[in-house]
A = this chain, B = another copy of it.
Amino acid sequence: MPHKVLRMHRAQTEPVTRPVMLAIAGDSATGKTTLTRGLVEALGPERATSICVDDYHRYDREERRSLPFTPLHPACNYMDIMEQHLQLLATGHPILKPVYDHRSGRLVRPELVEPREFVIVEGLLPLSTRLARACFDVAVHLDPPENIRHQWKVKRDCGERGYTPDQVLTELERREPESAAYIRPQREHADIVIRFAPIEGREDPPGTPLSAEVLLRPTIRHPDMTRVLAGDDTHAMHLKLSRDAEGRPVDALHVHGYASREDSGVLEKAIWERLEVDHPLPESLGVLREGPRSEPLAICQLLLLYHLLDKHPDRALPALAALPEG
């Protein structure tokens, strides 16, 4: 019935603007929400919206008790509906998104999500299928060392979701095979892989933010940082030609946790200037929920902000007009 498809297309009257889409994939408690929050604040909530694709759980907590897989398994999620909703958002359409209540473990009333100029999609499996990946302009994978991630998960799940530390550690063990099978393989599809971790062999004073190791794959065009950073390994930041786990060439950017605001300012300026915009840097970057500002986080968020604005059709003016005055 192609005539019906045609009739549907012709009946569609609303003007469609297509948002810039960013995926932030990663296992549970890898810092996806922290990374996302600073970006939405920088762009302004009226221009950027974020969703979590863990809401596409097929079963609630009660139903999962009798099932042989964890929420990390694609079979535990409406993957086809997730793909469909990503396509709709990517083509400028609203969705009625399912809602999973992490506190009660129940699926509740869905909510309307209307695409803004920028849509940030974070969660366990946003890059796990070819169709889902096709919806994004920029794809990020968060990849902290497992011991750091376990600490973060215990802290969050006990603090906010009512679990005991033992329950969280048991669950982490139960999830490990599915993390290996479904979550970590998304890493190779990311344009940017970010690893927050302490630097091996260094003893930084307590309270020093984690460093960031950022793999920049040439699958998208990154801002040129070679003039600022290349060949200078002694500083708090450096850029190195490297190979990723699959042997492919990448740039590896290191930002050390002890970097001062002055250190990172040099790189921030270099990235920002590549956009050729006349506007101060947003202040929301690098802000952690607790503790001091993290320069490694700020640089990572700035890189993502660069890509979001760079792919915006009118970045020169409206995309920056809404940035909060620094």
Contacts and interface: CB of A to CB of B under 8 A. Distances in A.
A81 B96 contact: yes
Interface in A85-127: 87-88, 90-91, 93-96, 98, 106-110, 112
A103 B91 CA distance: 37
Nearest to A9: B134
Classify chain A: how many residues form its interface, as a range: 35 or more
A248 interface: no
A67 interface: no
Interface in A125-182: 130-131, 133-135, 137
Given A81-B94, A90-B4, A93-B84, A109 B107 contact: yes
Interface of A: 1, 4-5, 7-8, 10-13, 18, 60, 78, 80-81, 84, 87-88, 90-91, 93-96, 98, 106-110, 112, 130-131, 133-135, 137
24 contacts: A1-B18, A4-B18, A5-B90, A7-B134, A8-B91, A8-B134, A8-B135, A10-B134, A11-B130, A11-B133, A12-B131, A13-B131, A60-B109, A78-B112, A80-B94, A81-B95, A84-B88, A84-B93, A84-B94, A96-B110, A98-B109, A107-B109, A107-B110, A109-B109
